[in-house]
Structure 1
Amino acid sequence: MDLQYFLSWRVALLLLLMPCGFQSVSVYILNEDPVHVISGTNLVLRARMEHEPQEEVSMVTWEREPETGSASGRMTLAKCPGKSGKCAGTKPHVHANVEQQETTLQINGYNNRVDGGLYSLTVTDSTGAKATVYCVVREYEPVHHVSVSINVSDSSLVCGEAWGTDPHFTWFHERAAISQSVGRVSLDGTTLFITMTPICGHFTCMVSNKLGYTSATYSAAPCETEGRGMTAAVVCLVLLLLLVGGALVFVLWRRHRHNNRGERLQEHLDDNI
């Protein structure tokens, strides 16, 4: 009984020593981290705030600093009162607002040199308790330097790309989508496992994202397909028919000419008689 009494007093003392508003407010960014933005478009960050029913948000502060985390480069972008409404931005292209339990920051005409970095959102409740969340913002890069290499040991082709944002990989064989008779593509799209034998033809890897695409091709030995053999046979048959037809036309022409000469000779003899 004495032990329980002692522990109860310890718990009560710890609760009294806790700062006022402990865990009474929390906040998290709704965007996926990191956020990539195409230069010249608008950056929009959204966050949700949660707090106890008896507490209220008194201040919302958006800040930015270099991604390296240098505090000397930190600057305040917008400060918002806890109640719903627009916030006071520090620059003309910066806009922020608070609506119920969400807050939004918008940077118009994103420029990575001045707008990229580590963004932070600090929410302060009426008791003075604060919660801060961070989000990295970077420029959306086009795909660069696509290459295709072969791994002879497992008959696979590997497609590589330098530093493009959110690259998507698509494979083609002789400009057609990869079929089961040619091979299978890995889940991430970077590797083509070839099942056709022998390996022949042109294999192309196209890498794309929102800003465009680029490709690279691996060329193996030319494929000797049944289709090509059939095409060659058809061409030969057409040529043969043309030769036979030409010979037949020539024979008919000669015969017609010979008949005409005979008729003219007969008419000449009749006239003389």
Structure 2
Amino acid sequence: MDLQYFLCWRVAPLFLLMPHGLQCMSVHVLNEQPVHVIPGSSLVLKARMVQGPLEEISMVTWEREPETGIDLVRVTLATCPGSSLKCPGTRPNVHVNMEQQETTLQINGYSRADSGVYAVTVTDRTGTNTTAHCIVREYEAVHQVSVSINVSHSSLVCGEAWGTEPNFSWLYERAAIPQTVGKVSKDGTILVLTMTPICGHFTCMVGNKLGYSSATYTAAPCETESRGTTVAIVCLVLLLLLCGGVLAFLLWRRHRHSNRGERLHEHLDDGF
């Protein structure tokens, strides 16, 4: 495209005296595609028009047709003379602004019916049309999050049905994933596990501008810590019982020797 512009502007002066001039008209949509719009908000599409030295814009037309289907009926949204700064659309919520090299389409109160392939057509004074297209879709909430395990690769895979721009994150036992448990892939969909054995609760959270949803994979209970705690408690109880038994034996023995000494002393007193 840049080469075409270069040739047009370089060669155009050579054709100034030609009856029909040189065709260098072009148009392209500035929005990144596809464009996702939240229902109820405004759709704004911008297109830039480039004219050759001999070209003059006589008409700009915005249209829309379904992205898929059999009966693709094209609907005209606005038809604007090239000299106008603003022009009304075919519906009250459709507005078009015109500038020297840009045109802007705005649809307020976007709904699912407004999704489709948008076309902006620029017509020059000779009747030649140049068209650019842009795909517009509804911004979808996150749906049907699921977590599955890949046993052969020791990893958990998080999936989501059809949400727009989903962001993935993981939790282990309701906390961030430590390095001792695993490593999350760049796109966030895979958790490569490093812990052995695999135990506990792994939660995948998926969110976007409309909210979030989650799913949890439950492995076998982590028994290492609980067993260690149980063993420690049992050992402590046995130690306390042993100490208590030794102390009781020493007290009993001391008490016994004390009683024997008293009886011996009484016996000696009686002999005298």
Alpha-carbon distance change, 50 to 206 in structure 1, aligned in 2, over 3 angstroms? same
Match of 1:201 in 2: 200
Structure 1 match to 2:41: 41
Equivalent residues of 2:21, 2:54 under 8 A apart = no
Amino acid at match of 1:151: N
Question: Relative to structure 1, is the Cα distance of residues 170 and 101 closer, same or farther in structure 2, using a 3 angstrom cutoff?
Answer: same
Structure-2 change in CA distance of 1:72 and 1:138 (3 Å): closer
- 2:251 corresponds in structure 1 to none
The match for 2:145 is: 146
Q: CA deviation at 1:93?
A: 0.5
Give yes or no for contact 2:96–2:103 (8 Å, CA) kept in 1. yes
Instruction: Provide the rounded CA distance (Å) in 1 between the counterparts of 2:122 and 2:163.
Output: 34
Q: Which amino acid aligns with 2:149?
A: I
Deviations 1:199-240, CA, capped at 9 Å, x for gaps: 111110011111110000001122246599579969x98xx9
Q: CA deviation at 1:56?
A: 2.4
2:31 aligns with: 31
8 Å contact kept, 1:21–1:129: no
Q: Contact between 1:69 and 1:118, CA under 8 Å: does it hold in 2? A: no
Q: Are residue 188 (structure 1) and residue 187 (structure 2) matched?
A: yes
Note the residue ranges of structure 1 that are not aligned, 5 or more in a row. 1-14, 242-273
Task: Map residues 122-271 of structure 1 onto 2, 5 A cutoff.
Answer: 122-224=121-223
Matched residues in 1 for 2:22 and 2:201: separation?
Answer: 64
Number of paired residues? 224
User: Which amino acid counterpart does residue 218 of structure 1 have in structure 2?
Assistant: Y
Question: 2: CA distance between counterparts of 1:49 and 1:70?
Answer: 31
Identical columns (%): 70
- Equivalent pair of 1:20/1:129 in contact (CA under 8 Å): no
Distance 1:61 1:41, change over 3 A: same
Corresponding residue number in structure 2 for 1:110: 110
Paired residues of 2:22 and 2:52 also in contact (CA < 8 A): no
Q: 1:117 to 1:229 in 2, by over 3 A?
A: same
Distance apart, 1:110 and its partner CA? 0.8
Q: Is the 8 A contact 1:84 1:100 kept in 2?
A: no
CA contact (8 A) 2:48 2:101 kept: yes
1:19-57 CA distances to partner (integer Å, 9 max, x unpaired)?
946651111111122211111111111111112234222
Query: How far apart, in 2, do the equivalents of 1:83 and 1:228 lie?
Result: 82
Instruction: Give the residue type in structure 2 aligned to 1:193.
Output: V
What is the alpha-carbon distance in structure 2 between the residues aligned to residue 193 and residue 141 of structure 1? 28
Please tell me whether the aligned partners of residues 45 and 105 of structure 2 are also in contact (alpha carbons under 8 angstroms): yes
The whole-number CA distance in structure 1 between the counterparts of 2:147 and 2:162 is 15
Secondary structure of 1:87's match?
Answer: strand
Of 77-86 and 211-220, deviating more is 77-86
Whether the aligned pair in 1 keeps the contact of 2:23 and 2:55 (CA below 8 Å) is no
